[in-house]
Amino acid sequence: MSRPLLTVVLAAGKGTRMRSDLPKVLHAVAGRSMLGHVLALAEAVGGDALAVVVGPGMDAVAKEVGRVAPKAAVFVQEAQLGTADAVLAAREAIQANKGDIVVLYADTPLIEAATVKTLVGELDRGANVAVLGFEARDPGSYGRLLTEADGTLTAIREAKDASPAELAVRLCNSGVMAFRLDDPLAVLGAIDNKNAKGEFYLTDAVEIARARGGRAAVVVCSEDEVLGVNSRAELSQAEAIWQRRARARLMAEGVTLIAPETVWLSYDTVVGRDTLIEPNVFFAPGVTVGEGAEILANCHFAGARIGPGVRIGPFARLRPGADLGRNVHVGNFVEVKNVTLGEGAKANHLSYLGDGSVGARANIGAGTIFCNYDGFFKHKTEIGEGAFVGSNTSLVAPVKIGRGAYIGSGSIITKDVAADALALERGSQDERPGWALKFRTMMARRKAAQGK
Ligand code: UD1
Ligand code: CA
């Protein structure tokens, strides 16, 4: 029988080892704050209520909670007296929810929803406390999970309080715990700080619950999943683990990555099946790719939609608002920002397309620039369906090119062009027959005269 579930996310740590002006939990993995990942995890686990515990003055952290999980309640832990004290900062939420509690850490961003569901599932199987553990390569300062021969969890011993025999245990506490207690506040309130660190240890809840006749259980996951981030080096490890997983997931979904270790994804990247991604492609947040697209090497994308069958790159850049319709071609050294390209439109070489629209099947020649900015305001360039913009054209916005119009190469277009017209803006060509031959003959004679 499942009961209402409250998730408590601990985010009070300052993370001084990050050496940063930014609170630790706001540092990003895959383009999203670690806190954001954990809040999304809480959502995926599907609890009924969410409480986040922050430190005093952590307004930026509270703001991120408001942005990512607006329904979450934020509590301030005034002094960092330990993990049990941190959970008690959310006392009101615990009182209001009257159900199960799961505790997550905002600096541990890689845990999968399925793992937390398994942990909470232990409560349904009769456990009063369920702890997420892992076999540590180097148990170091982790709390040790002390078990009986049958696997029953008897206690969690913090490294600083452990005997040599206890220190030899490799099964460690990830910190993530779930509780089904008749009176959780009584159990948490019974925790004292008589230990090596002088802290109120949440881990003591195991022994207290057992003394009250409760049962404790362990769920074991991989060490990678519970990596906690305390330094920039650990942040990069978390990123590497996240990326490895996300690449594997994409490939499993039918996307070809020629060199997966060189493709960088964001937390929200979506790629359709049978899309091919060549090496060295970076997806910043907000990018969607349709099916059967071809992304050639060395591209950077942010906030863009790439339609099905698009061919883009090598060396293309899409910035926010780039929207490439079906079968669009965007080639090397082309930058697109806030421009919609209709089905089959092409911009194959060396262009800047900023603010506007390009109609279906229009062709943008090499070296075309949308001159969108006058130093004060941004203006739009609108190009009609099937228009042909010759190479090296500057389109000075605001400007509209009608459907099917031609723009001669090298033009600087400052006025609207009607549909099916030719617009040309350049000096007329002056040709002098035989001039080059006469010039060469004269110069050669002059050089010979000086020669000796
Ligand atoms: C804790 C566990 C340990 C486990 C380890 C996993 C306890 C007593 N120990 O130890 O068994 O192996 O995590 O990493 O729980 N926090 C607060 N307020 C506080 C104290 C901590 O919000 O007053 C937050 C921290 O920001 C951090 C988390 O709780 O995100 C863990 O706290 P930390 O002090 O790092 O605990 P550990 O000593 O690592
Ligand atoms: Ca820690």
Q: What tokens appear for 329 in the block? A: 């071609």
**Model pLDDT, residue 452:** 62
For residue 154, report the distance from its CA to the centre of ligand 1, in Å: 20
Q: Phi and psi for 322 in degrees, rounded to 5?
A: -70, 130
For residue 288, report the distance from its CA to the centre of ligand 2, in Å: 36
How far is C-alpha 125 from the chain's CA centre? 36
**Model pLDDT, residue 1:** 57
**Model pLDDT, residue 151:** 84
Q: Which ligand is nearest to the CA of 174?
A: 1
* DSSP percent split of the chain into helix, strand, coil, nearest 5: 25, 30, 45
CB-count exposure of residue 438 (10 Å: 0-12, 13-18, 19+):
exposed
**Model pLDDT, residue 225:** 97
Choice among 37, 329, 349, 379 that is catalytic: 349
Strand partners, 352: 335, 369
Mutate to test the pocket of ligand 1, among 65, 76, 80, 83 (most ligand atoms within 8 A of CB): 83
CB-defined site of ligand 1, < 6 Å: 10, 12-13, 53, 77, 80-83, 85-86, 105, 107, 142-143, 156, 158, 172-175, 201-203, 228
Q: Which of 215, 204, 218, 208 is nearest to 174 (CA)?
A: 218
- Please say whether the beta carbons of 324 and 309 come within 8 A: no
**Model pLDDT, residue 109:** 97
Query: Measured between alpha carbons, how far is 125 from 123 in angstroms, rounded to an integer?
Result: 5
Query: Measured between alpha carbons, how far is 317 from 324 in angstroms, rounded to an integer?
Result: 12
The reply to whether 329 belongs to the active site is no
Interstrand relation of 129-135 and 171-179 (parallel, antiparallel or unpaired): antiparallel
Query: Measured between alpha carbons, how far is 9 from 313 in angstroms, rounded to an integer?
Result: 42
Query: Measured between alpha carbons, how far is 324 from 107 in angstroms, rounded to an integer?
Result: 37
Query: What pLDDT tens digit does each residue of the chain (452 aa) get?
Result: 568 999 999 999 878 899 999 999 999 999 999 999 999 999 999 999 999 999 999 999 999 999 999 999 999 999 999 999 999 999 999 999 999 999 999 999 999 999 999 999 999 999 999 999 999 999 999 999 999 988 899 999 999 999 999 999 999 999 999 999 999 999 999 999 999 999 999 999 999 999 999 999 999 999 999 999 999 999 999 999 999 999 999 999 999 999 999 999 999 999 999 999 999 999 999 999 999 999 999 999 999 999 999 999 999 999 999 999 999 999 999 999 999 999 999 999 999 999 999 999 999 999 999 999 999 999 999 999 999 999 999 999 999 999 999 999 999 999 999 999 999 999 999 999 999 999 999 999 999 999 86
Whole-model pTM over 0.75: yes
**Cα distances (Å, whole numbers) of residue 167 to 33, 136, 171:** 33, 12, 10
